[in-house]
């Protein structure tokens, strides 16, 4: 048995904890550069604001309907998330933190009335953090997720489901008839794992509701769609196929990407941006004690605008896996120089660290040379500690190799060994 605990309109709810005057008003939280809406209050949803709606398309609602827009404050949301998660953990013996606002709780061995227990946990979270949650319970993760959707929808739209399902919905406690009626009243697109594409295909095939999907033959689903959808069908039928991921597994890739506030055309600001991306990505990498074997860099023009299109990426294999910002930056910047071409309005770029390994693998098996040895590793630790203490971006390495560029700092003048300068291998440029 699983529960899914999910904060309602999470970012908006976090903001409301500190600005109670926002209660009852239509509120959205905007992405970076205030580009688009990434969280909406119920009132904003009522106004028809879609998830991901560009701000310039909905800003008129500020005047007409008092829509309030806030710039995202991710450190705050992360902090609130930690508090909610630790309270949600009280629901059962195991917890998988699935996203910033959601966690699955394994209920194996928990006795008593699960619905009542969930009610108490929900109340405690609300009282201690100010964040309202929905809790869904089911025999599989997919059913718990669905139950959570029903709990939240029943609260927001009182006519959609029976009132008892509001806030807490335990699908495993329903009679067969009620369960059927509930699943039949829910659109197939609400199922975890059924997105826009598959949803449309299912509807074309006459599968409209969750009940329709749950009744399908798994083997048929597998041959006509995929093993992924087959698992979903089995889970809807109560056959657990997706286990609880107790401890967070190390990331297999780490990305740092951003849209630019205004388009970039020159190489220098692009290099500057990519240097920062590498710094952030490398920090995440060191936090999980990992090493990267490849670095990918990309840049592109806006897909929403007319004009010359540019969309390139390059993957640079490293001779040795590393977590050293300078070495990663060196590879990334050489990549930038190779894909860069003047004459384009670049709106987004990013860095991805690929083929990640745990760092103990290398230390046991390879001899580190001086540039990647203990001194460099301690320098990186100091860098991370300072940035943690004084805020992200307090200190970063100067970009290497751009004559006359500003913000030079220590690393650039360092002695270089052959390995240092040839840590990545040359490969052809990928063009899309």
Partner DNA sequence: TCTGGGGTCCTAGGACCC
Residues of this chain that interact with DNA (CB under 7 A) are: 31-33, 35-36, 38, 51-52, 54, 56, 98-102, 145, 191-199, 226-228, 251-259, 263, 277, 284, 302, 304-305, 315, 347-348, 350, 352, 430, 432
Shorter beta-carbon distance to DNA: residue 100 or 137:
100
User: Which of 9, 128, 22 minimizes the C-alpha distance to 67?
Assistant: 22
Q: By the 8 A CB rule, do 129 and 137 touch?
A: no
Shorter beta-carbon distance to DNA: residue 164 or 245:
245
Shorter beta-carbon distance to DNA: residue 84 or 352:
352
| Minimum separation from the CB atom of position 352 to DNA (A) | 7
| Minimum separation from the CB atom of position 386 to DNA (A) | 20
| Minimum separation from the CB atom of position 304 to DNA (A) | 4
| Minimum separation from the CB atom of position 364 to DNA (A) | 21
| Minimum separation from the CB atom of position 48 to DNA (A) | 16
Q: In angstroms, rounded to a whole number, what is the distance separating the alpha carbons of residues 1 and 326? A: 48
129-to-14, 43, 85, 292 alpha-carbon distances in Å: 9, 21, 11, 38
Shorter beta-carbon distance to DNA: residue 132 or 401:
132
Q: In angstroms, rounded to a whole number, what is the distance separating the alpha carbons of residues 389 and 346? A: 33
User: Residue 63 has which token pair?
Assistant: 């005047």
Shorter beta-carbon distance to DNA: residue 117 or 312:
312
Shorter beta-carbon distance to DNA: residue 117 or 322:
322
How big, in percent rounded to 5, are the helix, strand and coil portions of the chain? 45, 20, 30
| Minimum separation from the CB atom of position 282 to DNA (A) | 12
Q: In angstroms, rounded to a whole number, what is the distance separating the alpha carbons of residues 213 and 229? A: 10
Query: ∠ CA(300), CA(306), CA(310), 5° rounding?
Result: 25
| Minimum separation from the CB atom of position 139 to DNA (A) | 19
**What is the tally of helices (H) and strands (E) in the chain?**
17, 13
Shorter beta-carbon distance to DNA: residue 104 or 340:
104
- What are residue 58's phi and psi, to 5 degrees? -115, 0
| Minimum separation from the CB atom of position 49 to DNA (A) | 13
CA 219, 224, 228, 233 dihedral sign is negative
Q: Is 130 helix (H, G, I), strand (E, B) or coil?
A: coil
Shorter beta-carbon distance to DNA: residue 185 or 255:
255
Parallel, antiparallel, or unpaired for β 27-30 and 68-71? parallel
Query: ∠ CA(282), CA(390), CA(36), 5° rounding?
Result: 70
């Amino acid at each position: 048995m699983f529960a899914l605990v999910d904060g309602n309109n999470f970012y908006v709810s976090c903001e409301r904890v500190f600005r109670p005057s926002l209660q009852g008003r239509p509120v959205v939280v905007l992405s970076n550069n205030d580009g688009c809406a990434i969280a909406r209050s119920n009132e904003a949803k009522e106004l028809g604001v879609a998830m991901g709606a560009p701000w310039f398309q909905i800003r008129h609602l500020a005047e007409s309907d008092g829509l309030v827009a806030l710039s995202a404050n991710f450190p705050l949301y992360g902090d609130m998330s930690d508090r909610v998660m630790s309270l949600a953990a009280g629901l059962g013996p195991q917890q998988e933190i699935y996203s910033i606002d959601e966690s699955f709780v394994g209920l194996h061995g928990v006795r008593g009335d699960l619905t009542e227990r969930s009610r108490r946990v929900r109340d405690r979270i609300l009282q201690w953090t100010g964040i309202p949650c929905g809790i869904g319970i089911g025999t599989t993760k997919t059913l718990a997720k669905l139950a959570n959707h029903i709990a939240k929808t029943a609260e927001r739209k009182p006519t959609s489901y029976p009132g008892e399902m509001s806030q807490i919905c335990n699908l495993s406690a329903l009679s067969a008839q009620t369960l059927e009626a509930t699943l039949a009243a829910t659109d197939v697109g609400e199922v975890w794992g059924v997105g826009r594409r598959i949803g449309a295909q299912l509807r074309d095939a006459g599968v409209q509701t969750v009940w329709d999907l749950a009744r399908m033959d798994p083997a048929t689903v597998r041959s006509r769609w995929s093993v992924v959808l087959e698992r979903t069908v089995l889970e809807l039928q109560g056959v657990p196929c997706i286990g609880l991921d107790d401890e967070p597994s190390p990331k297999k890739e780490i990305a740092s990407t951003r849209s630019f506030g205004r388009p970039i055309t020159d190489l220098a600001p692009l290099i500057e941006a990519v240097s920062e991306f590498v710094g952030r990505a490398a920090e995440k990498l060191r936090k999980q004690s990992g090493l990267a074997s490849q670095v990918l860099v990309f840049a592109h023009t806006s897909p929403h605008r007319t004009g010359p299109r540019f969309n390139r990426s390059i993957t640079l294999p490293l001779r040795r896996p590393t977590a050293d910002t300078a070495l990663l930056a060196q590879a990334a910047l050489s990549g930038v120089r190779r894909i860069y071409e003047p004459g384009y309005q670049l709106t987004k770029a990013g860095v991805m660290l690929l083929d990640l390994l745990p760092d103990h693998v290398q230390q046991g098996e390879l001899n580190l040379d001086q540039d990647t040895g203990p001194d460099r590793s301690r320098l990186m630790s100091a860098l991370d500690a300072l940035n943690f203490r004084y805020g992200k971006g307090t200190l970063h390495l100067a970009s290497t190799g751009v004559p006359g560029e500003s913000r030079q700092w220590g690393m650039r003048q360092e002695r270089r060994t052959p390995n240092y300068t040839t840590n990545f291998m040359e490969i052809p440029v990928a063009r899309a």
